[in-house]
Amino acid sequence: MSSWTRTALLGMLGVAAGSTGCSRANVFAITGEPSADGGGDGAKPVTCPSLKLPPGDTRQTVKVDSMDRSYLLHIPSTYDGSKPVPLIVDFHMGGDSGSTELSDSLYPAVTDPEGVVMAFPDGKKGPGGTGWNIGPCCVEEVDDVAFAKALVAQVQTTACIDPKRVYAVGVGTGGGMAYYLACHAADVFAAVAPAAWDLLAENAGDCNPSRPITVLSFRGTADVVVPYAGAYSAAIPGMAITFLGAKATFEKWAEIDRCTGSPSAEDSNGCSTYSSCQDGVEVVLCTKPEGHQDPGDARVAWPVLKRHPL
């Protein structure tokens, strides 16, 4: 695995370090054909960069509120730069980093064959270690929603990304960040798949996405950090929170997305689904009996995510 700074990478591509992007070619129209999410809003051109990013994992930085934020950009060998591809932003759990999430993530093995680009952001340090600012927890004085949006915008300047197919996933507090983006950045992220986290009683009432959004949640019944039934937690010093619980979070998202009827019975993967929701979105809860802080199953998540463009 190679790891370069953004300056070195852009230099390799023949782009000045201070440039906001590179010369571009190959204009594609995202047709906006009617989708499950009602995305038939007409053609929107995507211009691919004329210089193809080489495969590999590179360290990138983006400035947010005068602060340098970092992430690893993962370009699979199947990415050819000739057509728009999805982008998945994968948020690490508390105490980890983008590097550890890249090593542990189950998504590349599933999405690399399709040329999907991935980004693995680094959280800032809080009282419980590195993590994400998701309201009452777990890092203060950083705007991680702004970071996520800036990251997406920057990747779009160097890789050929379909703006209708940007997704957020994560585990633990990273799953909490994916939920938070669904609540506060549904204009950028098409769908999310959090694992090992719940909505929080302290700010669930502030979750007002700009549009209905597909949410697929993975939870383990034996998780002692985020109990399946929900619980008060003082695990982060000075940042006590209350987890709603897996089923209460499932029901809350069904309410937010104006789902009707009852969810399906659990399938062979333990997934129950509200499929009659506004604009055709889905709300899914996949339960793993005796599961702990498990990252979920990318083989289950990716087919759901990719059928829901923005």
Each domain of the chain, given as residue ranges in start order, spans 6-15+26-306
Q: C-alpha distances in angstroms, 255 versus 50, 150, 249, 274, 307?
A: 44, 30, 10, 10, 21
pLDDT truncated to tens, each residue of the chain (310 aa)?
433 333 333 333 333 333 333 444 566 655 444 344 444 455 578 899 988 999 999 999 999 999 999 999 999 999 999 999 999 999 999 999 999 999 999 999 999 999 999 999 999 999 999 999 999 999 999 999 999 999 999 999 999 999 999 999 999 999 999 999 999 999 999 999 999 999 999 999 999 999 999 999 999 999 999 999 999 999 899 999 999 999 999 999 999 999 999 999 999 999 999 999 999 999 999 999 999 999 999 999 999 999 999 9
Q: What per-residue confidence (pLDDT) applies to 235?
A: 87
* 256-303 pLDDT per residue, tens: 999 999 999 999 999 999 999 999 999 999 999 999 999 999 999 999
Q: C-alpha distances in angstroms, 34 versus 87, 95, 115, 157, 309?
A: 21, 41, 24, 27, 10
Instruction: Give the span between the Cα atoms of 221 and 239, in whole angstroms.
Output: 24
6-15+26-306: CATH topology is: Rossmann fold (3.40.50)
> What is the maximum alpha-carbon separation in the chain?
56
Instruction: Give the span between the Cα atoms of 298 and 193, in whole angstroms.
Output: 9
Strands (E) in 9-84, as ranges, are 24-30, 44-49, 56-64, 67-75
Kindly report whether the global pTM for this prediction surpasses the value 0.75: yes
Instruction: Give the span between the Cα atoms of 215 and 253, in whole angstroms.
Output: 7
**What pairs with residue 119 in β-bridges?**
73, 89
